Structure 1
Amino acid sequence: MNTTTAAPPQVRRVRRRNRNRWTVGWVLSRLPYWIVAVFLSGAAFLWIYPFLWMVSASLKDQLEVFASGLGLLPDKPIWENYQRAWGEAGFGKYLVNTVIVTVSTVVIVVVRCAMAGYVLARYRFAGRRVALTILVVTLFVPTGYTIIPVIDISQRLGLLNSLAGMIIALSGGAHVAAILLYMGYFRQVPRELEEAAVIDGAGFLSLFFRVMLPLAIPVTATVTLMTFLATWNAFFLPLVFSFSRPDLRTLSVGMLAFVGENSVDWSGMAAAAVISLLPVVLLFALLQRYFVEGVAGAVKS
């Protein structure tokens, strides 16, 4: 029989305080405010410096890109780099292709993964554990191993050199992380909501699209952002699908236009990279709050 008595509350608080000492948060909380601000500002600057350098390089000529070293201020901004990237390199057309492919892929992935996560979270059926195991195992399969069968199936279906084939190929993957996020979120939803909707005569599709999916807005924002980033920056699949159709290139594939046989247009490539990154930065700025809420809400379960 254990006769050890619990420690008094005061002793437990002292022990907890001692355990929490010498962590980064504890040290920062003991420093003056201005020192913490300077430290965090320096860390933030180092974090975003590559992006700032790229923006700076997009306003320089070829020689100044390398002659200025780590300097950020161009001697004279050359806005013609953006004009060359947009017009001569065809990035206007590539941007339209990328928007079509990305938006279509995001819509398909959100609806498909939300339905899969909802069914796995709320229904019990034969083979459910097997399906979950297969989904988790696919997380460890490198993406490169799936490119050959995807291309072969697309060619047999006559979808290889088309935007539709590119969209189906990009949205047809497992997207396990998105399914698990929806699954974790839908587990927390009270069953009384479903029962009330069923009593009112709602079927499966009506229950899902009118009740459950609107409740999962934080997770939907998270999945939207994750899928948007992955599709917007995808390279290998769009490269193969547009190999014989340069007019179908996306922004990431269009970067190859600045790589010549004997030279590389670095300033033009930097301008094209800035054009490619601006929509991503804007989207993340709009959805960052929902992104954090979606991940936190799904992990709770």
Structure 2
Amino acid sequence: MSAATTSTGSRTWSRLRSRMPWWVLVLLLTVLAFIWVFPFIWMVSASLKTSAEIFGGGLNLIPETLQWENYVRAWQDGNFRVYLLNTVIVTVATVAIVVARCALAGYVLGRYRFPGSRLVIGILVATLFVPTGYTIIPIVKISLELGLLDQLGGMILALAGGANVAAILIYAGYFRGMPAELEEAAIVDGAGFLRTFAQIMLPLSMPVTATVGILTFLFTWNAFFLPLVFSFSNPALRTVSVGMQAFVGENSTDWPGMAAAGVISLLPIVVLFAFMQRYFIEGIAGAVKS
């Protein structure tokens, strides 16, 4: 063996050894990613199986025969066509209200200093430690007094009326990092508070708006307790999370139908995050940096 061949082999081994930690890291992350998404993959697989296959197949992901009727049963018999529409209406309206309210609150807290501003922020942070269950009774009482308990409008106001502290703080951190020259130029042009906010500051905060929108979308779409209470006497108002109960019978549970309903309910979330993940990351990074 020549010296040149030995030298080439030595350099190749050195490069391979120097890159080996990266290969180990990639392999580890791949395994962790598979473990992370395995429940969703298993649910998709279970939605195409029979009940016997689900309990007898273990962790096997390949159905013997594709049971597409599970989706038909979930969509028609399980009434998920109505539940999905209700969820879309409630979620879109809640996101719009929360974004408008939190953006205004975050803009004021991030750009203005007034007596008691630190106290307001402290109270907002303190509400993070209040369990959600403690607020259901007063919300139901107020909604009952206003005649909104059995209406989608009441459900929307109840879901959108929370403190949303994280969203407000994200907006406040982002607005605090914006240059003051933007507001000064708007004032010179004769713009007031609302015009400056709506035409200048809010459009510039689109990454944060996407982040808050996604977080609110996830929270509202997966909400269970409030939609359960508001639709208790009117099943037609159920959302997808509450509608899962339709597959739980008195003596048995339709597991394939429930899995198909779960896939239907999760698919919009997966699609939304796939398209909005770049803005979500930018918004979080911008708020933390500020």
Q: Establish whether TM, by shorter chain, passes 0.5.
A: yes
1:25 matched to which residue of 2? Answer: none
Residue type of the partner of 1:182? Y
Residue type of the partner of 1:245? N
| CA displacement at 1:283 relative to structure 2 | 0.6
2:164 matched to which residue of 1? Answer: 175
1:220 is aligned, of 205, 209, 222, to 209
2:227 is aligned, of 238, 242, 259, to 238
1:124 aligns to 2:116 (yes or no) = no
Residue type of the partner of 1:75? E
| CA displacement at 1:127 relative to structure 2 | 1.7
| CA displacement at 1:37 relative to structure 2 | 3.6
1:77 aligns to 2:66 (yes or no) = yes
Relative to the length of structure 2, the TM-score reads 0.92
CA change 1:268–1:197 in 2 (3 A) is same
CA change 1:33–1:140 in 2 (3 A) is closer
1:270 matched to which residue of 2? Answer: 259
**Whole-angstrom distance in 1 between the partners of 2:22 and 2:226:** 49
**Whole-angstrom distance in 1 between the partners of 2:261 and 2:53:** 18
1:191 matched to which residue of 2? Answer: 180
**Whole-angstrom distance in 2 between the partners of 1:123 and 1:37:** 46
CA change 1:233–1:29 in 2 (3 A) is farther
CA change 1:29–1:94 in 2 (3 A) is farther
1:252 matched to which residue of 2? Answer: 241
| CA displacement at 1:123 relative to structure 2 | 1.1
1:291 is aligned, of 280, 285, 288, to 280
Aligned-partner SS, 1:31: helix
Gaps of 5+ in 2: 1-16
| CA root-mean-square deviation | 1.3
2:134 matched to which residue of 1? Answer: 145
CA change 1:110–1:29 in 2 (3 A) is farther
Relative to the length of structure 1, the TM-score reads 0.89
Aligned-partner SS, 2:113: coil
CA change 1:136–1:34 in 2 (3 A) is closer
Residue type of the partner of 2:200? V
- Identify, as 1 or 2, the structure richer in helix: 2
| CA displacement at 1:34 relative to structure 2 | 4.7
1:207 matched to which residue of 2? Answer: 196
